[in-house]
Each structure stands twice: as structure tokens, then as C-alpha cells.
Structure 1
Amino acid sequence: MENRKKTIKQWWNGVKQQRYIKAILITFTAVFLYFIMLGNVIPEQIDVHLSDVAEEDIRSPITIENRQATDRLRAEAVDNVEPNYVLKQDYAETQGGRVNDIFELIGQVKNEQEPTDEEADSETSEEEDLEEKLATVNEALSSDTSQQLSDTTIRTLLETSDSQLVLAKEATSNTVFEVMSERIEANNLQEAKDNVDELINISTVSNKLRDAMVEVAQFAIIPNYVYDRDSTERLREEASESVEAVMIREGQLLVKQGDIIDNEIYAQLRLVGLLDESLNIYPYVGLAMFVVLLMGMMMYFIQESNSTVKNNNSHFLLYLLIFIIAVCLMRVTSFTELLGIGGLGYAVPVAAGTMLLTLLLNTRIALFSSVLFAIVGTVLYSQDGTSTFNVTYGFYLLVSSLAGALFLSTSNRITRLLRAGFLVSCINVAAVMTLLFIKGLQNGWLEVGFHLGSAAFSGVAAAVLTIGLLPFFEAGFSILSVSKLIELSNPNHPLLRKVLTEAPGTYHHSVVVGNLAEAACERLGENGLLARVGAYYHDVGKTKRPHFFIENQMSQDNPHDKISPQLSKTIIISHPYDGADLLREHKMPKEIVEIAEQHHGTSLLKYFYHKANQEVEQPLPESQFRYPGPKPQNKVACIVAIADSVEAAVRSMQKPTPDKIEALVNKIIKDKLEDGQFDESEITLRELNDISLSMLETLKGTFHQRIEYPDELRKGGKEHGDSRGSNR
């Protein structure tokens, strides 16, 4: 049965270290976050119809352009732009030129086809010749011109003499130029043409020719104040672009309670997605991307952090549980905003999450998680539907979470939790006051007081919640927290009382080792409290045979003088592992067990090794007199091992002086380094030097030189020497 339990435990430990476990946990957390935030991202659908009366105020959940209204305003702006007309000064010369061209053409046709004397005597009549010339002119003229000039006019011009034709050309051309020098619009074109009859008033020409001249002039006169298409289009385009887009802002009131839903309001409701007409998948996809980004940030930080969460799946599960608890607290508290009581959401004890993370795992992870809590909180507190992200609560959650982590970062006492909770309350109140002042303090003083009271309650609730949850997490995940270490350092602990009563010399030795190890750990930035408590328990195995260790022999005979070196070796070497077994029986944290088991590593029992070699002819292998290990696996275990050797060696010195102590400490560290005792702990040479300096400072205060008082001088040196010998 015992073997079966051991096999199951080994299998479970193996499963906990599998990589796919972490993938499963992070996937579950991502799904949890997705669904807990889904209700805040997906717009609420409302059941309204045209001509209904709004039962409540309806606000826009998003910011979007109302393109229909924008297009309408732009169309109105374009319609308001009048057509642009320009005066074409060159039209007068152009049309005057056309008049000259007509007269020159007629003169050319007329002169080219003058009948010879023989043709004049022929049977061809004058009428036929005129018709031929008329046909030639019509053929030469453009179709538009030939259609507008009557045959009568052309005949008249063909029958006119050359001198009269030149006079008619000049008069007609000048008249056209004079008339078109003024602005002629399309709607007053006829008026301009009527002016021609008054301007062409030449008495030297016949009425018939004058009528022909008037017709040609009226034909040539066209509007010179014309529509400019390019400039008009440019002006209309500028007018259209000057119209700003009509935006429906996030939180904008679309319809008040009691208003009638008309076509315009109904179109706006459809535009912002409040009508249950079609499924918009973009919010779902956007939320999924949001969650993936959060989980990506979390995993990247954990992989880059130097913490147990990176490689220990149990600690990773603990982290995710605390993260989910904090999110659930925000989710539950966010619903209070729907009650219409302003500021009740500030009561969320989100700082409990960072407090637990600081005490159980790592301060850096707690600080990073504060940012994640704030980001998630901006979504969870958007309950009013007017915004996807509530930045106000995001700022508050960030400040409160950071305060919870920072005020516990150097805590060594469980009582500091309540003090930290009070400080978090103060920071929360300051944050809320900041937000209220920025907004202009538009609330009444009663409401302000409720805001501040909720913020103050948050810090106290966070401390109480942390105190309540801390023991469960410590027991369930075997977490060695600060509070647990403080509890284990209590001299009334059964194992420490056992050491004190059964091996008092070992107890005193352990206390001094704890002082040395704690100071060295703090110098290196390691867990000094863990080193101290581990040192208290590192020699608990000596209680099994206390009198076989010199610090417990007092004035008794040394039992090793009566037994073989091999048996002495067996007794001495067994004490780290006897202590580890005893610690496991008392359900002590594995970190304490590991320190007790590793504090001698695989070092050599030099005294008994050399003693055994004196009794044999062939040298014995060192492996028979070495501890079986393991070697120290971390820096704290290394420091405790060094402190253990240093304290024992310095205590055995006859007359310790600072120079002797320094030489001895350096030699011990050098011997352990050369013996490979630090190979598995990743400790550096610089850190070993810092450890040496720290222990020297502590030892100077412990083994300082004492002043010999007169009574002691009279007792003599022999008695003084005997007292030193009894301490060894």
C-alpha cells in the first residue's frame, strides 16, 4: 500500500512538471477572461420599433460616423455653391473674326466666279450663276453657320459690289466687337442681338444690305459670360470637403426617455448596432485578440522572470488562481455600478490579489499583475454601455494594486498586513480625490463622502481577505510565505523546543548560523528570513544522538574516543538526513528540508578520515568519509552551509582576532569552492566575496574581544583556559 502511494505521488509530481499542463492552464484562463468580459464588449440589443416611445435613455455604445447624415450635409453644401461664370474677353475678337471670314469667303467666291465676256453672251442666265455661287458659299461654310444664315442674306452679299461689301464687313465686325465688349449672359442674349439693329445704321447702304449685315452680326453674337465647369467643380469639392463628418460619439444620448422613435433616431440605433437585426462578429474577434494579447504579455513576463512561476507548474497554477480571484472580485463589484450608487465600485479589494502574490510568490510578478488588473478592469467596469474601456476605474485599480504590492515588498511580519491595508486605503482615497478634482468635483459632498468611504473600505477589505486566504494557499500549494517563516521561527515550535532542550549547544550554534546566513542573504538580495529559519532547523537531526556532537558534550567525555572512526563517521554523516526525515514527519516546507539535507553537500569528514587512515596500512578512499549529498542546489543553501562551517571553525579558535577570523573564513570558502560544493548552486565568485565580507562584519560583533575585569584577573589563566576547553 505504501509503495502504491509512493508510485502515485511520483506520477503526480511528474504530471505537474509537464509543459502541456501550463498550456492547458493558460488556455483555461484565456477562455475564462473571454467569457467574463464578453458582456461588456458586445453591445446590448434593444427591442424598439418606429413610432415607439422610448422607455429609457439610450446612449451610443461606440463612436461611429453617421455617413448618411454626413452625405446629406455635403450634398447641401454642394447645392449651395452657385455656378461659377467667367467673362471671356477673347470671344469678341473671335466672333469678329468669324464675321470677317464670312465676308471674305463671299468676296472670294464672288470674284473667282465672275463670268467672262463669252460666258456673258452665253445662254447661261445671271440667276443660274448666282445660285451656283450660293451653293459654293453654303458648301464652304460650316453646317451650323449655313443653317443660321439665310440664303437671302448670302445672295444679298453676293450681289453687293466689292466696295459696299468691304464697308459692310467693317461695319458688321465693329458692331459685333462693340456689342460683345459688354457682358452677355445666356438669358439676355436676345437683348444684345436686338441692339445690333440700332448700331448698324449706315445710310450709304441699301436696306437690303443692312438687313443682311444685321443678320450676320446677330449670328456672330454669342454669350461671353459663360459657365466655368472646372472652377465650379473645384468650389463644390472644397465645399464638400469642408463639411466635417457627422460622428455619433461613444456615450452620446441618442434618445431620451419618453421621446418618439422616428426614422432618423431609428437609423442611428441601427448604425450603432443596438437593433437586433444582424450579427456583428467584429466585437467577438476583437475581444479574442484582446485576451490573446493579455495572455501573451503574461507568458512573456513569466518566461523572462527569474521566479518559481517559470518552472514550477504548481506555482503557475497558484498565480492563475489568484489572478482569477482578483478578476472575479472586479466582476462582482462592477455589477454594483448598475445599482445607480455612484462610487460603490471603488470598494473592490483588488489589492488583495497583489498582496497575495507578493507574499506567496514574487514582488515583481505582483507589480506586473497590477497592470493586467487595471487593463482587465477598464473593460469590466464599462457596465453603463457608453464605453468599451472605463479609464477612470482603470487608473484607480492600477494605483490600488501597486500600493498593495509595494507596501508588502519588505514585510517580515504578518501584522504588517493590516498596516499595509490601511496604507492602501489612504492611497485609494487620494486616487479617488484626484479623479474627482480632475472632473471638477461636480458631485455633492454626500456623494463624495460615499466615494471616499468605498475607497477606504477597499484597502481594509483587501488586508482582511489576504489574511483569510493566505493560510489556504500556503497549505494547498506548500508555499513558504513570510508569515509561515515567522511562525516557524518561533522558539515555541515543537522542533525548536526539542533542539533547545535536548541539544542546547546545537541550538545556540544554529542561532548564530542564522544570524550569519541572514545578513549574507540580504547582502546578495536573497531571502534572508528563509536563510535564518533554515539555519534554525538545519541541525535538528543531531537531536537523535546529541552527545556525539562536541557542542553538546559540555564537560562530558567524548564518546567518539571509545568507538571506531567508521562508526563515528556513520553517526556524524547521518545527522543531515535524520534531520530531513524528522522535518518531513512534521510536514515542514521542502525549502527547510532541502537546507537541512544539503548543508554539508558531499564534503569530507577530514578528522575521522585522517584518524581512520592512521589505523590502517593502505589509505582509505575519501568517498567512504564523504557525505552522500546532494550538494547545495541554491544560493540560500550555499550560504547556510558556509555559515555552518564558519561558525563552528571560529568558535573553536583559541584567541580569535579579526585577522585570524578573516583568514579562516576565506580559507573555508576557498576549500569548499575547490571541493566543488558550489557547482550546482549557480553562485558566483563575486557573490562568494560578498558573503565573506558580510560574515566578517557579523562575526566581529559576535566574537569581539572582552575586557578582563579585576575578579577575572585574580582567578588566573588556568581556570580561564578550562572554560574555553569546555566550550569546544
Structure 2
Amino acid sequence: MKQGKSIQAVSTFFQSHPSVIWGMLVFITMFSAFLLYPHSGKISYLYEQGDIAERDIKAPRDFFIEDREATQENRHKAGNNIQIVYDYDPALHQQLSDKIDQAFSIPRKLYTIDPLTTETTSPSFETIMTTKDKFESILGIPIGKGAFNILYKYNFDTEISDKIKIILTEILKNGVVANKDLLLKEDGKGIILRTIDSSSEKVVDNLKIFYGPDQSKTMVRIIGDPLLKGINYNLSNLIVDICQQMLRPNITMNRNETEKRIKAAEDTIKPVLYKIKQGEMILREGERVDEIKIIKLNALTSQIKEKNVMLARGGVAIVIFLSLLVIYIVSLRHHQSIEKYHNKNIIFLSLMLILFLSIARIAAPIAGKVPLDMPLSITVESLYLVVPLAAGAMTVCLFLEFQVAMCFSLILSLMCTIIFASKMEVFIFILMSSITGAYWIKECRERKIFITAGLKLALFNAVLAIALGIYSAQPQPDITVLLKNTALAAIGGITAGIITAGLTPVIEIVFSYTTEIKYLELSNLDQPIMRRLMIEAPGTYNHSVIVANLAEAAASAIGVSGLKTKVCAFYHDIGKLDKPLYFIENQSDGKNRHDKISPSMSALVLIQHTKKGVEYAREYKLGQDIMDTIQQHHGTSLIRYFYNKSIKIHGEDGVKESDFRYPGPKPQTRETGIVMLADVVEAALRTLERPTPARIQGRVQELINAIFADGQLEECELTLKDLHQIAKSFNKILTGLYHHRIEYDNKPQEPKKEKNGKPEHTDSEPAKVAKDQPQPDKTKNQANLKRLGI
């Protein structure tokens, strides 16, 4: 018993004490500051190439860094752009010609010419052979004995030496390079051809014109063919052989000059410096780290100072607290759907905010672990599209109102934007998706609406993702990325509907909320408690069904939830199951149990049915709204019959009126007010004799006037216009219900007879007024309400 009282006390404290609101604001503030801000003041910048960034990194101030590798690469590129210097020796062919003349002149001196006959006298071959060594030395090539003999036969004729010189000069003027394969590597870039004697330079782009060593030897035969035509075959071959052996490259690479120029070009390249401006994004969360970013991070690591975590979190906490406070004061503090059970609703909103912030924070690191080559891989930049954050606003809208869901969407969007890279696109997407999802779920009366709303939201999210993708794309959107983001957004919408469907029954149980879907389930009269009522208290069951029909029609007439009002009316009298035979509608044997007990005890039995009804409602988990209706449907009205009966026995001084009044409270909502009116009207009209339309209308007006005059409708916001519409709907329903009893005659009405010598009564005595009690001021009431229901 003590434990039950303690639990009840704690529950009452959380539901009513003002400090709970401030406690929740502080708790959400601290939780959000902890969730949104990093855990360490020293941010880790230690990454290796190819790593994935764990969070965004921005420059705290302006600074320069040198990219040594980039500088070296630029210098290397500058060196590679330098053309290789080749030296061209234009005097080589002249030098060779001089050697040929000098060499041939030595053996030729041994020949004598007779002045008289001008005939040449040839020396012996042995004599000529004495000059062979010197001949070879001057030419710089070996000459075989046979070759030397051929020259001897032709007297070392000048024609032979001239042809050799012509062939060599022709080839060397074109240019012969020592290594043509190496030269051709510069094709496309060209070379610098520097003349040795004049130091003049020119750029040569067509490198194929130069002969390589093998090519030059081939060209000797090609060039020599027309010159040697008609000459002895052996002599022709000897001339070609001498030319091939004497050929030397006259174009050679000048390595020293080339390297000198490369170094000069590299020295002109300045170091590559990067200016990192304050606030510049160095690395984004989920981005792959490359060489340049490594250099930036290394420079930043040497300059950054450790940040004061507590101070930073304190700033974030103040911003969050002020945001929550402003939204609460401006939009939620006196909102109609929040004001009733204020603390419980604020706790519900707080827990929903914490839940979906936690989902967003947990999802962020998961994105980086999804392989990028998957068809629907999720990057941090597109993560917010697939996380079903709209389910939060949809769930809030189901249990509270759409306007509350909009406020919830705003604060959730602000906080999630901080989690997801603080981009405007994130805020726009989450806010619009949440509000739209809440709008499509607000009229949910069937389970399939969750899927329908999810599909609609998926389509909306897909269109919104395309729009944001086009807006943020630079310079134009990547179709593959756009399609992937569209698919992710659609999945997020469908998932939001599914999550909302799963959360709804859990929240109904935890917070005793009742949704339209729950009302539809409870409107099925095959519920266990209603089956008990039908079997154990059939009169009360029949009364509840009629009251429900009256209440539903009246609710529809004034624009409140007909379903909610009807269901509350079905269950408003379930407390009579405790002692069903003490209520006249269940007495079928003509015996009235109240005849044997005192009026005060009878009043206590009647009062007790509201308390028992609340207990039954709690046991069968009917929800807070139905419990409120059971508790409030009699308000603080007076059980007038037993009050008057007690006065007759004990006198006015011996009776306390408070003992004969229901404990209340008075109806707090228009739905409960309608149930009170329908309950009283149905109970009273059941005993009305000859219920003509005029008598029904008069009785309805009289009953409503009495309840209004007793102040029972002061706290439920029913206006006179509402009462007029309610009375009008009651008249229409009751006239149709009792049409078979209507008698069209002009006989005067007789006073109501008593059963067993005693007046009839029900538990709805506030509608009846005893003859010997002070009557309400009918003139005043009729002045205000005399045309009620007409």
C-alpha cells in the first residue's frame, strides 16, 4: 500500500509540479550540448593518406604553408620543359676533307710525271706499301692490303678522294647524331641546336631529319650510287667502305650545358605556398584524405592550440537553452493541446527530441563505414536524406496537434543541422519533410494511413532532394549522385511512416495517449469491458449506446471530434459494473435497493461509480481521455433527489450539500461537456410521458438550462452557440427515437406518477429539480436560452 502511494505521489509530482518543466529544459540543454559538441578539446589531425575524415576541420586563423612535394614537382616540370642542348660541329666535314687530301697526297708523291710525255711513272707496290701506315694514321681508319692495292692500281687518283669528300660532306651537312633513339625521345618538345664556332642557337623540332650512325652508313651507299656509277665495282665498294669508317657524329648532346639550364629553370620556380584563410574548410567529414590535405593538416597541427571544451560546450548550451525557451514561451506554453496535462506533454516532446537527436548522432559515423562502391552507399553529405527524422514530427502530430508538430520540426531541424555539417540544405530538407509528414498523418484513423503517408512523403522527399541537388551542384549536378540521393530520400520517407506506425502503440501505452486509431478500436462494442456491461448491466449498456449516438451527433454539429466523443460516451458509465442493481435502469424486478439504505449512502453509491469507472478504465487501458470523461461527466452536480430526501429526514441544518455532490472536476473539454449533456438528457427523456416533439424540445431546453445555470459548463469552453446546436441535434435524434410513442391529441398532461409511491430517479439527478427546493432563476435563464434548440 505504501509503495503504491509513493508511486502515485511521484506520478503526481511529475504531472503537476512546475519545476518539472525547467528540469526538462535543463536536461535537454545539457544532453544536446554533449551530443552536438565533440568530446575532446584537442582535435586529432593525425591522418594518413587514404583515411576517411571523422569530422569537419576548419582553419582557426589565416596562415601559409609550403607544399614541398608540390614545389619539387613544379621544379621537376620546369626542368622537363627545358629543351636539351645539342652541339653542332659544322667544320667536321672540312676537317675530314683535309685529312683525306693529306692522306692521299703521301702515296701520290711517289708517282712521277715525265715532263716530255706527261706520263705518270708508278712506283712499285712495295714502295707504296711503305706509306700505308702513315696513310692509315692520317685517315684514322685501318686500310687492308687489298684495299690499298686497289688504290695503288688507280694511282691514288684525286677523283677517288674527291668522291669520298663529296659523300662525307653531303651526309655531315644533314647532321649525324650519336644516339638517335635518345634524340627522338625529345620529339614533340624539340632540341636546341647550338653551333660550336659561332655559339648561335636554334630550336629544331623535326628531329627525324638527322641521321643516326647506322642510318648515316646506309646513306653513304644511297648518296654514292649516282657518283660511283660506271666505276669499277671493287673501287666503288672501297670508296663506300672508307666513307662509312670515317663518318663521325657532328651533333652531340651537351650534358653540362643542359643540366646548367635545367638548374637555372628550377631555381626560378618559387616555393608553392597555400594561404589557409580563417574558417576555410580543410577537411570535410567522410572525405578521403589526399596528399595536399595531409600537408595542410600537418601545418595546422603545429599551430593549433587546445580548445577549452567546457567553455565551448557552455556556449552551445546557452544557445540551445535560449532556443528551447523561446519556442516554449511563444508557441507551446499556453497551447490548447499542451495545456491539458502540461507536464506530461512536455516530457513526451522532450523524450521524442532526445530520441531523434540520438538517432541522427548514431547514424553519422555509420555513413562513413558503408563501402562507397555499393549501389546505395551513404556519404555524410547525403546521410540526412535517408535518416527518417520526419517520423518524430509525424508521431508528435498524432498525439498532439499539427501546430505543435511544426514547432517540434523547427527545433529538431536546427539541432540536426549542426550534426549534419551545418548546411542550409540540411535544415530545409529536414524541416519541410517533417512538416509535410506531420500534415499527411494528422487525420490518421486507419493503420494503412501510415503506409500511405510514408509513400507520399517518399515522393515529396525525392522531389525535394532533386531540387536541393540541382541548387547546390557546382557547376552542374552529377546525374549519378542525384539519382542516388533521390533514392535515399524516398527510402527515408517510407521508413518514417513505418517507424511512426511502430512507435504509436508504445507511446499510447507509456503516456496513456489515445489516437484516432485507438478510438476506432474502442468504438467496437465487442471490447471485454463492454461485453461485461451488456451482460451485467444491460440497462446501463443501452443507456450508454443512446448517449453515444446523441453525443456523436452533437459533436459533429459544433465541429469537435465525433469519434472521440462517441467512444468516451460508450465508456462513461462502466463504473456501474461495481453495483449495477443500485442504478434504476438495471432494476428489472421492481425492487429499488435504495429504499433500504440511507440517502447519504445512496449518494455515496452513485458517486462511487465515477471512481470505479476510472479504475476499470485504467485496468483495461482505455486511455486518459476516457478516464477524464468518466471522472468529469457529472462534474460537481448535486444528486438532488437524495439530497432532498435527506433534508426531509434530518432537516436542512443536519445535511451537508457537499456530501451529495459529485467530486468533479467539472468538464474540462467540449467533448466531456457534450457527454454530460447527453447523459442527463437521455436519462430524463426515458421517463417522459407522451414525448411529442414539442415536449422533447421543452424538456431538452429545461435540462440544458439547469446544467448551464449550475455552472457545470464553465470550464469546457462550450459557447451559447454551441449549446444551441447541441440542443438542436438532441431534438432531432430524440424525436426520431421516440416517434412511435408520440400521440397527436390535445389532452392536458397529467402530473408524473410515482412508482411504489415514490418518485422515480436515476443517477443523473442534476437535471431534476425538487418542488420544495429553491428553483433557478428561470426568467434569467430563459432570457438567455429560451430559444435553445429551435
TM superposition score category, shorter chain reference: 0.5 to 0.7
Q: Are residue 23 (structure 1) and residue 18 (structure 2) matched?
A: no
Q: In structure 1, give the amino acid aligned to 2:328.
A: M
Say which of 435, 441, 444 aligns to 1:408: 441
Q: Is the contact between residue 550 and residue 558 of structure 1 (CA under 8 Å) also seen in structure 2?
A: no
Residue 33 of structure 2 is matched in structure 1 by 34
Q: 1:657-696 maps to which residues of 2 (within 5 A)?
A: 659-679=694-714, 682-684=715-717, 687-696=719-728
Q: In structure 1, give the amino acid aligned to 2:353.
A: F
Residue 335 of structure 1 is matched in structure 2 by 365
Residue 629 of structure 1 is matched in structure 2 by 663
| More helix by percentage | 1
CA distance in 2 between counterparts of 1:275 and 1:523 reads 75
Question: What are the superposed Cα offsets for residues 133-169 of structure 1, whole Å, 9 maximum, x if unpaired?
Answer: xxxxxxxxxxxxxxxxxxxxxxxxxxxxxxxxxxxxx
User: CA 1:485–1:21 in 2, change beyond 3 Å: closer, same or farther?
Assistant: same
Deviation at 1:624, TM superposition (A): 7.9
Q: Is the contact between residue 378 and residue 394 of structure 1 (CA under 8 Å) also seen in structure 2?
A: yes
Residue 353 of structure 1 is matched in structure 2 by 392
Say which of 385, 396, 409 aligns to 2:429: 396
Residue 316 of structure 2 is matched in structure 1 by 287
- State the secondary structure of the residue aligned to 1:407: helix
Q: Are residue 296 (structure 1) and residue 325 (structure 2) matched?
A: yes
Residue 202 of structure 1 is matched in structure 2 by none
CA distance in 2 between counterparts of 1:563 and 1:489 reads 38
Stretch moving more, 574-583 or 607-616: 607-616
Deviation at 1:451, TM superposition (A): 1.8
CA distance in 2 between counterparts of 1:40 and 1:391 reads 25
- State the secondary structure of the residue aligned to 2:719: helix
Residue 119 of structure 1 is matched in structure 2 by none
Q: In structure 2, give the amino acid aligned to 1:687.
A: T
Deviation at 1:274, TM superposition (A): 6.4
Say which of 678, 684, 699 aligns to 1:649: 684
Deviation at 1:420, TM superposition (A): 1.9
Deviation at 1:377, TM superposition (A): 2.0
CA distance in 2 between counterparts of 1:43 and 1:522 reads 63
Count of residue pairs brought into register by the alignment: 520
- State the secondary structure of the residue aligned to 1:600: coil
User: CA 1:654–1:428 in 2, change beyond 3 Å: closer, same or farther?
Assistant: farther
Say which of 571, 576, 588 aligns to 2:610: 576
Q: 1:120-269 maps to which residues of 2 (within 5 A)?
A: 250-251=280-281, 257-259=290-292
Q: Are residue 278 (structure 1) and residue 305 (structure 2) matched?
A: yes
User: CA 1:391–1:525 in 2, change beyond 3 Å: closer, same or farther?
Assistant: farther
Unaligned 5+ runs, structure 2? 66-274, 373-377, 748-754, 763-790
Residue 317 of structure 1 is matched in structure 2 by 347
Deviation at 1:571, TM superposition (A): 4.6
Residue 416 of structure 2 is matched in structure 1 by 377
Residue 405 of structure 2 is matched in structure 1 by 366
CA distance in 1 between counterparts of 2:33 and 2:658 reads 61
User: CA 1:509–1:328 in 2, change beyond 3 Å: closer, same or farther?
Assistant: same
Deviation at 1:464, TM superposition (A): 2.0
CA distance in 2 between counterparts of 1:593 and 1:58 reads 51
Q: 1:407-486 maps to which residues of 2 (within 5 A)?
A: 407-439=440-472, 442-486=476-520
Q: 1:83-94 maps to which residues of 2 (within 5 A)?
A: none
CA distance in 2 between counterparts of 1:489 and 1:56 reads 56
Q: Is the contact between residue 539 and residue 576 of structure 1 (CA under 8 Å) also seen in structure 2?
A: yes
Stretch moving more, 507-516 or 573-582: 573-582
CA distance in 2 between counterparts of 1:260 and 1:513 reads 75
Residue 305 of structure 1 is matched in structure 2 by 335
Q: In structure 1, give the amino acid aligned to 2:456.
A: L
Deviation at 1:324, TM superposition (A): 0.9
Deviation at 1:65, TM superposition (A): 8.5
Q: In structure 1, give the amino acid aligned to 2:487.
A: G
CA distance in 2 between counterparts of 1:58 and 1:634 reads 53
Q: Are residue 493 (structure 1) and residue 492 (structure 2) matched?
A: no
Deviation at 1:593, TM superposition (A): 2.7
Deviation at 1:427, TM superposition (A): 1.8
Unaligned 5+ runs, structure 1? 70-244, 383-388, 718-724
CA distance in 1 between counterparts of 2:54 and 2:621 reads 61
User: CA 1:525–1:287 in 2, change beyond 3 Å: closer, same or farther?
Assistant: farther
Residue 214 of structure 2 is matched in structure 1 by none
Deviation at 1:601, TM superposition (A): 2.8
Q: In structure 2, give the amino acid aligned to 1:649.
A: A
TM-score with structure 2 setting the length: 0.57
Q: 1:56-75 maps to which residues of 2 (within 5 A)?
A: none
Q: In structure 1, give the amino acid aligned to 2:514.
A: L
User: CA 1:309–1:620 in 2, change beyond 3 Å: closer, same or farther?
Assistant: closer
User: CA 1:677–1:19 in 2, change beyond 3 Å: closer, same or farther?
Assistant: closer
CA distance in 1 between counterparts of 2:487 and 2:39 reads 26
Residue 229 of structure 2 is matched in structure 1 by none
- State the secondary structure of the residue aligned to 2:291: coil
Question: What are the superposed Cα offsets for residues 358-410 of structure 1, whole Å, 9 maximum, x if unpaired?
Answer: 2233432211111112111221111xxxxxx2111211111111122112222
CA distance in 2 between counterparts of 1:565 and 1:58 reads 79
Residue 215 of structure 1 is matched in structure 2 by none
Question: What are the superposed Cα offsets for residues 239-268 of structure 1, whole Å, 9 maximum, x if unpaired?
Answer: xxxxxx996774479999334988xx78xx
Residue 536 of structure 2 is matched in structure 1 by 502
Q: Indicate the RMSD between aligned Cα atoms, in angstroms.
A: 4.4
Deviation at 1:515, TM superposition (A): 3.3
CA distance in 1 between counterparts of 2:665 and 2:424 reads 52
Residue 191 of structure 1 is matched in structure 2 by none
Q: In structure 2, give the amino acid aligned to 1:409.
A: K
CA distance in 1 between counterparts of 2:612 and 2:25 reads 40
Q: Is the contact between residue 600 and residue 627 of structure 1 (CA under 8 Å) also seen in structure 2?
A: no
Deviation at 1:37, TM superposition (A): 1.7
User: CA 1:433–1:53 in 2, change beyond 3 Å: closer, same or farther?
Assistant: closer
- State the secondary structure of the residue aligned to 1:329: helix
CA distance in 2 between counterparts of 1:596 and 1:317 reads 25
CA distance in 2 between counterparts of 1:470 and 1:670 reads 41
CA distance in 2 between counterparts of 1:8 and 1:57 reads 49
Deviation at 1:547, TM superposition (A): 4.5
CA distance in 2 between counterparts of 1:496 and 1:505 reads 12
Q: In structure 2, give the amino acid aligned to 1:305.
A: H
Q: Is the contact between residue 349 and residue 458 of structure 1 (CA under 8 Å) also seen in structure 2?
A: yes
User: CA 1:683–1:443 in 2, change beyond 3 Å: closer, same or farther?
Assistant: same
Q: Is the contact between residue 324 and residue 411 of structure 2 (CA under 8 Å) also seen in structure 1?
A: no
Q: In structure 2, give the amino acid aligned to 1:504.
A: P
CA distance in 2 between counterparts of 1:381 and 1:503 reads 60
TM-score with structure 1 setting the length: 0.61
CA distance in 2 between counterparts of 1:59 and 1:365 reads 33
Deviation at 1:651, TM superposition (A): 4.0
CA distance in 2 between counterparts of 1:474 and 1:356 reads 11
Residue 768 of structure 2 is matched in structure 1 by none
CA distance in 2 between counterparts of 1:621 and 1:704 reads 42
- State the secondary structure of the residue aligned to 2:736: coil
Residue 179 of structure 1 is matched in structure 2 by none
